[in-house]
Chains A and B, each alone.
Chain A
Amino acid sequence: MRLLKLLKQHVGMVPNPISDATREIRARTRGADVSISVCPYCAVGCSQLVYSKNGRVINIEGNDASPINGGTLCPKGAATFGLLTSPARVTTVKYRAPYGDRWEERPLEWAMERIAQRVKETRDAHFEEIAVDGTIVNRTLAIGHLGGATLDNEENYLIKKLFTAGLGIVAVENQARI
């Protein structure tokens, strides 16, 4: 009898035992917080579900409810979690002094103040209130800005408002011309 059972098991007629660990397996998203996001890559605008636990993202996948992507994603969209948790992602400020040969770590607060000072210095030195023909121009050509297409609309609005309306920077450009 025992021999028969062994033989049967060997040819797969009796199921192998299921371990406790296997029995306990569940999707790790169970009980996670979910927020609705939009894929940061191309302009199709796929809706994503961002799952997080304890303030850390644990999974990102497509949102079934979206009339655009219906839960699907492309490889880049599917790699959004990889972008967020990329091992090469930089999370601290890096500073490189003029003629320096290395990056230096600096506090964010220090960098913000230093940037504000540099903006003021450059703007003050190269601000044009009135052009040679007498037209009021209130501008500086000495500072430029690049980027916007990967940011949020509201951020684009703030860039144009602060840089152009507030500082007179006219050379504000993004990837639309690339």
Chain B
Amino acid sequence: MRELDPANGSIGPESSAANTGARRGALGFVTDVTLCIGCKACEVACKQWNDLPMDDLGLTGHSYDNTNDLGATTWRHVAFVEQFGQGRGSQSMSNAPGSNWLMLSDVCKHCVNAGCLEACPTGAIIRTEFDTVVIQQDICNGCGYCLPACPFGVPALSQTDGKAHKCTLCYDRLKDGLEPACAKACPTDSIQFGPIAELMPRARKRVTTLRERGVESAYIYGDRAVGGTGGISGLNAFFVLIDAPEVYNLPNMPELPQRKTMASYLTTIGTAVACGVATYLTLRNR
């Protein structure tokens, strides 16, 4: 068994060295598209460990993707993007990763500030000791508030039990010191698991290497240090990408919906106060 020691990840919050935005002991994934061979071992390993049924969508005609999206019974999903005739090709002999057939294994981002968790009215969604975000199935009542609250569209309601489901980052395995099933299975280490404090510097180094090898477009999606996390403060499951987020069906500027509501929140309070004051004044003047 590959052992992990959460204590290794002990760094202070907002550690200046790594500047990851991660909390002490946070664990997560980095998924590097330049190493992905699109084999979907992660999907199967996830379904096997978590005992998830087949989706059975039939032949979709979308390249080699027949599971379509993350959902209640698909917690890892490999997207295939065929981009032929768009410049990038593997004909240059440049030793530069990246071709015109992009593959990305998507997963719940386990946001540092998670919209789903904040929106959950029942307290079913928790932040674990590993800084991952987990839906407690014994508490979830299937209200579905978490669905629109996720900027990535990750949680989904199951058609069989009506509850919300998503990746748990193999909470049960983490508790026993085991690596999550998807990362363990991944043959090419496209999915790496570990303390964010280690993963983030490794990913930044990888991006530097990729750029040196000619992949100018490489970047980290979900790195707080490069900004643009819209109140999410970073992703515990982040990505090394080589094209725009939208190409991979990821939002370019993800934002917590709560942020948008803050203004109306304050307006509401302000209006209430103003109404109160006005009423008071009106009544007093009477």
B161 → chain A closest CB, angstroms: 14
Q: Tell me if A17 is interfacial: C-beta within 8 Å of chain B.
A: yes
The bracket for how many chain A residues form the interface is 20 to 34
A74 with B187, Cβ < 8 A, contacts A15-B126, A27-B172 known: yes
Q: Tell me if A16 is interfacial: C-beta within 8 Å of chain B.
A: yes
A27 B124 Cβ-Cβ under 8 A: no
Q: Mark A41-77, 1 if CB is under 8 A from B, else 0.
A: 0000000000000000001111010000101111101
| Stretch of A18-26, A125-133, A152-160 that contacts chain B | A18-26
A21 → chain B closest CB, angstroms: 5
Number of A-B contacts (CB under 8 A): 91
Residue of B nearest to A12 (CB): B118
Residues of B within 8 A of A78 (CB): 41, 44-45, 48, 185
Which of A19, A21, A64 lies in contact with B1, CB distance below 8 A?
A64
Q: Considering the chains assembled together, what is the distance between the CA atoms of A31 and B57 in angstroms?
A: 37
Q: Tell me if A88 is interfacial: C-beta within 8 Å of chain B.
A: no
Q: Mark A101-141, 1 if CB is under 8 A from B, else 0.
A: 00000000000000000000000000000000000000000
Which of A29, A30, A75 lies in contact with B41, CB distance below 8 A?
A75
A25 with B172, Cβ < 8 A, contacts A19-B136, A19-B139, A71-B184 known: yes
Q: Considering the chains assembled together, what is the distance between the CA atoms of A60 and B45 in angstroms?
A: 9
A18 with B184, Cβ < 8 A, contacts A12-B117, A12-B118, A30-B176 known: no
Q: Tell me if B39 is interfacial: C-beta within 8 Å of chain A.
A: yes
Q: Tell me if A94 is interfacial: C-beta within 8 Å of chain B.
A: no
What are the nearest 9 A-B pairs in CB distance?
A: A16-B123, A27-B176, A78-B44, A12-B118, A78-B45, A75-B44, A72-B187, A21-B138, A75-B41
> Contacts A25-B175, A27-B172, A72-B186 given; 11 further ones with Cβ under 8 A?
A18-B126, A19-B139, A25-B172, A27-B178, A72-B41, A73-B41, A73-B185, A75-B39, A78-B41, A78-B45, A78-B48
